[in-house]
Structure 1
Amino acid sequence: MLSNELLVVYRELLDSIEQKQLPTINKVAEIAAQSVAGGGSVYIHDRGHLLNYELFNRSGGLALLKHLHLAAATGEGIQGELDAAAATIPASSMRKGDILILGSVSGRAASVVELAQQARNHGMVTIALTALDYTSQIPSLHPSGKRLFEVCEHVLDIMTLKGDAALDAEGMEERILPTSGFTSAVVGWCFIAQLIENMLAKGLVPSVYRSVSMPGGMEQIEATNKRHKELGY
Structure 2
Amino acid sequence: MLANELLVVYRQLIDSIEQEQLQMINRVAELAAQSVAAGGSVYIHDRGHLLNYELFHRSGGLALLKHLNMSPVTGEGVQGELDAAAATIPASPIRKGDILILGSVSGRAASVVELARQARDHGIVTVALTAVDYTSQTPSLHPSGKRLFEVCEHVLDIMTLKGDAALEAEGMEEKILPTSGVTSAVVSWCFIAQLIESLLAKGIAPSVYRSVSMPGGMEQIEATNKRFQELGY
Interval containing the TM-score (normalised by the shorter chain): over 0.9
**Structure 2 stretches lacking a partner, 5+ long:** none
Would you say 1:28 and 2:28 are equivalent positions? Answer: yes
Question: Which residue of the partner structure matches residue 162 of structure 2?
Answer: 162
Paired residues for 1:171-210 under 5 Å: 171-210=171-210
Q: Secondary structure at the match of 1:19?
A: helix
For 1:169 and 1:131, how far apart are their aligned partners in 2? Answer: 24
Question: Which residue of the partner structure matches residue 134 of structure 1?
Answer: 134
Shift of 1:30: 0.2
Would you say 1:97 and 2:97 are equivalent positions? Answer: yes
For 1:77 and 1:4, how far apart are their aligned partners in 2? Answer: 42
Question: Which residue of the partner structure matches residue 80 of structure 1?
Answer: 80
Shift of 1:76: 1.2
For 1:45 and 1:129, how far apart are their aligned partners in 2? Answer: 10
Identity of aligned residues (%): 85
Matching residue's letter, 1:157? D
Question: Which residue of the partner structure matches residue 10 of structure 2?
Answer: 10
For 1:42 and 1:31, how far apart are their aligned partners in 2? Answer: 10
Matching residue's letter, 1:177? L
Summarize deviations over 1:25-49 as a string: whole Å, max 9, x none.
Answer: 0000000000000000000000011
Matching residue's letter, 1:159? M
Shift of 1:170: 0.3
Shift of 1:161: 1.5
Shift of 1:101: 0.0
Summarize deviations over 1:51-98 as a string: whole Å, max 9, x none.
Answer: 000000000000000000000011011111101000000000011000
Q: TM-score, normalised by structure 1?
A: 1.00
Shift of 1:217: 0.4
For 2:193 and 2:113, how far apart are their aligned partners in 1? Answer: 27
Question: Which residue of the partner structure matches residue 63 of structure 2?
Answer: 63
Summarize deviations over 1:106-151 as a string: whole Å, max 9, x none.
Answer: 0000000000000000000000000000000011000000000000
Matching residue's letter, 2:5? E
Summarize deviations over 1:185-224 as a string: whole Å, max 9, x none.
Answer: 0000000000000000000000000000000000000000
Q: Secondary structure at the match of 1:128?
A: strand
Q: Secondary structure at the match of 2:166?
A: strand
For 1:137 and 1:94, how far apart are their aligned partners in 2? Answer: 32
Matching residue's letter, 2:23? P
Cα root mean square deviation, aligned? 0.4
Shift of 1:8: 0.2
Question: Which residue of the partner structure matches residue 147 of structure 2?
Answer: 147
Q: TM-score, normalised by structure 2?
A: 1.00
Matching residue's letter, 1:61? G
Question: Which residue of the partner structure matches residue 45 of structure 2?
Answer: 45
For 1:211 and 1:76, how far apart are their aligned partners in 2? Answer: 43
Matching residue's letter, 2:109? A
For 2:72 and 2:112, how far apart are their aligned partners in 1? Answer: 14
Which aligned segments of 4 or more residues in structure 1 are displaced greater than 6 angstroms?
Answer: none
For 2:189 and 2:78, how far apart are their aligned partners in 1? Answer: 32
Q: Secondary structure at the match of 1:8?
A: helix
For 1:45 and 1:192, how far apart are their aligned partners in 2? Answer: 15
For 1:39 and 1:113, how far apart are their aligned partners in 2? Answer: 27
